[in-house]
Structure 1
Amino acid sequence: MTVTNSSGSGNIRATLKEIYNKLKEEMLNDPAFDFNEYSRQWIDRMVDYNVLGGKCNRVLSVIDSYNIIKGVDVPSKEDMYLACTLGWCIEWIQAFYIMLDDIMDNSQTRRGQPCWFRVPQVGLIAINDGILLRSHVSRILQRLFKGKPYCNYLTNLFTESECKAASGQLLDLIITHEGKKDLTKYDMTIYRRIVQHKTAYNSFYLPVACALLLAGENLDNFCKAKNILVEMGTYFQVQDDYLDCFGDPELTGKVGTDIEEYKCSWLVVQALEHADENQRSILFENYGKSNPACVSKVKDLYKKLNLQNLFHEYERESYGKLIADIETQPNEAIRNVLMSFLHKIYKRNK
């Protein structure tokens, strides 16, 4: 998700990097970890390798959402620091998820470079590195937000997000990797549950929830907004699945591999629902194979089933429903936050 901000790209990026460096330095010198010089060097490299390299969208989402909720263009220095820190906590958690996910999926690359566990001399040490990242988030929350009226709510929010991600990952692994490959396990109910737990909750709801708590709001008053954000995150993942197959690599920055990796993607679920018996046989014979000829047969089948048109229809309907749901929100600031999120992802091509 590409996010802009009202504080000026150069200024906000410099602030983000400054706070990131401070948080990393605190980790390196935290007596709870008891690092020696060698392990400090390792952690310094590990954190940069895994946390940096993305677009910082989750950090920016917390900041932008907080500014909209509070009705300010530029927050106070303290509020900016707290918002940035919460955003970096989400990025730290995301890096933790990604490191372990890459191991479980036996992935090769991430963000254009080898997965951390594939870096020479790292291997399965990456598991412990991920745990260290997660532990540091707990230390940040304890140190910086202890005594705040929303501290317990914040802690519970991060715990809930981890439960969602872990349960979604488990379902994904069971469906995708357990035993013999079986496309009959794939359906829209399974797909939506995986996506909502692994992507939508943590990338869309969590940043806004952090901003709401920081602004002094009660999350219980925003249950409908939560549902909208989760649905928006689901729409975002469907876009990702579509772009993995039909996107322009020059724009997306990567060559899609969902077919080869036997992913439970929106496209294959739709193909299974719309294919006749012969077409299903083509899917069963070719899906999940790295042979270019097999991949080509699957893509040809997607085109014959008009999945491109089906996606555009889904996108149109999803956008209309999201707009209608957003307009029912009584809180103007939340409407603006939700509209801001939606307009940044609608009809994206990368």
Structure 2
Amino acid sequence: MMDYNVPGGKLNRGLSVIDSYMLLREETEVDDEDFYLACVLGWCVEWLQASALVFDDITDNAYTRRDSLCWYKLPTVGMSAINDGVLLKCHVQAIIKRYFKEKIYFLNLMELWNEIGLQTAMGQMLDLITTHTGAKDLARYRIQGYRRMVKYKTSYYSFYLPVACALLLNGAKLSDYVELNNVLIEMGVYFQIQDDYLDCFGDPEVIGKVGTDIEDYKCSWLIVQAMELANENEMKILCENYGKSDPQCVAAVKNVYKELDLQV
């Protein structure tokens, strides 16, 4: 299960821990132990990412991930993937305790991971509430709500967490880097906008998955922008077709996106 879900991606989040740490230490020599600990934290971020993707694929009814079947789609797995996702996340705490319990920053590190776990779960809740709860109403899809959802669901664990881990490993206090937090959150929003665009217009052979944001009625950047730019007729087309799996409905939505110059 771990071999199937943890490796295989671009490893950007895990490598960000190492890259950030090496930049912080560029004036001093990094010994093998410190470099190894940076690698451990990098893999912890990748384990958290794997857990998030397992849950995401189930809630989105996704089919492929990283050029392979989603874990829950395997005949021998099914909904037991829910427990596997929990197991992946729980292992992170065990790994951190094993390698860092004697470090002076151990409690701060654990507090960071607990906080990020809560924020990510809140982001997932916002996504689920927006997508699956109540009557479908595209008028609710506004940039303020989109940014709030992305901030919690993506930015904190994908951008802030790797850098924060590197700072703690280097002996820094996170309270001294509040502005850095804000910058990393904005980077996460930019990243998610790119991801939303590729979900719709990217080549599945390149991005490693079949995008389903339109079919799943997702609050993506594209639909948020379209709702701000569309005229009355385009708005009618979006409301009639968004959230439907019929290929003709999906094509109709994409055509509106193109008319609004959202495809570049």
> Could you tell me how far apart the structure 2 residues matched to 1:139 and 1:253 are?
30
Q: CA deviation at 1:101?
A: 2.0
| 8 A contact 1:168–1:198 mirrored in 2 | yes
Return the alpha-carbon distance in structure 2 between the equivalents of residues 65 and 258 of structure 1. Answer: 32
Matches of 2:16 and 2:255, distance apart in 1: 38
1 CA distance for matches of 2:206 and 2:186?
A: 25
| Count of residue pairs the alignment pairs up | 264
Superposition deviation, residue 219 in structure 1 = 0.6
| Superposition deviation, residue 236 in structure 1 | 0.9
Q: Residues 67 and 74 of structure 1 are in contact (CA less than 8 Å); yes or no, is this contact kept in structure 2?
A: no
Which residue matches 1:160? Answer: 115
Helix, strand or coil for the counterpart of 2:78?
coil
Out of 141, 155, 166, the position equivalent to 1:200 is: 155
Q: Provide the rounded CA distance (Å) in 1 between the counterparts of 2:76 and 2:199.
A: 31
**Candidates 265, 277, 301, aligned match of 2:232:** 277
1:141 to 82, 96, 99: 96
Instruction: From the CA coordinates, give the structure whose radius of gyration is larger.
Output: 1
Deviation at 1:257, TM superposition (A): 2.6
Establish whether residue 114 from structure 1 lines up as the match of residue 69 from structure 2: yes
Distance 2:28 2:202 in 1: 35
Partner amino acid, structure 1, of 2:155: A
Q: Is the 8 A contact 1:243 1:252 kept in 2?
A: yes
Q: Specify the alignment match of 1:265 in structure 2.
A: 220
CA spacing shift, 1:293–1:275, aligned 2, 3 Å: same
Q: Residue 247 of structure 1: CA displacement?
A: 3.3
Picking from 2, 10, 19, the partner of 1:64 is: 19
State whether residues 67 and 73 of structure 1, in contact with CA within 8 Å, keep that contact through their aligned partners in structure 2: no
1:227 maps to 2:189: no
User: Cα RMSD over matched residues?
Assistant: 1.8
- Percent identical residues: 59
1:307 deviates by 2.3
Please state how far the C-alpha of 1:253 moved relative to its aligned partner.
4.2
> Residue 213 of structure 1 aligns with which residue?
168
Moved more, 210-219 or 118-127: 118-127
Structure 2 CA distance for aligned equivalents of residues 77 and 98 of structure 1: 31
Q: SS of the counterpart of 2:177?
A: helix
5+ residue gaps in structure 1?
A: 1-45, 310-350
Q: Confirm or deny: 8 A CA contact 2:160 2:185 kept in the other structure.
A: yes
**Which of 42, 45, 56 is the equivalent residue of 1:101?**
56
Q: CA deviation at 1:264?
A: 0.7
- 1:161-205 CA distances to partner (integer Å, 9 max, x unpaired)? 111111111110011012432212211111111111111111111
**Letter aligned with residue 83 of structure 1:** A
For 1:333-348, what aligned pairs fall within 5 Å after superposition?
none
Alignment of 1:123-142 (within 5 A): 123-142=78-97
| Match among 233, 236, 251 for residue 191 of structure 2 | 236
Q: Are the counterparts in 1 of residues 64 and 210 from structure 2 also a CA contact under 8 Å?
A: no
SS in 2 for 1:307: coil
Aligned to 2:47: 92
1:285-296 alignment runs, 5 A limit? 285-296=240-251
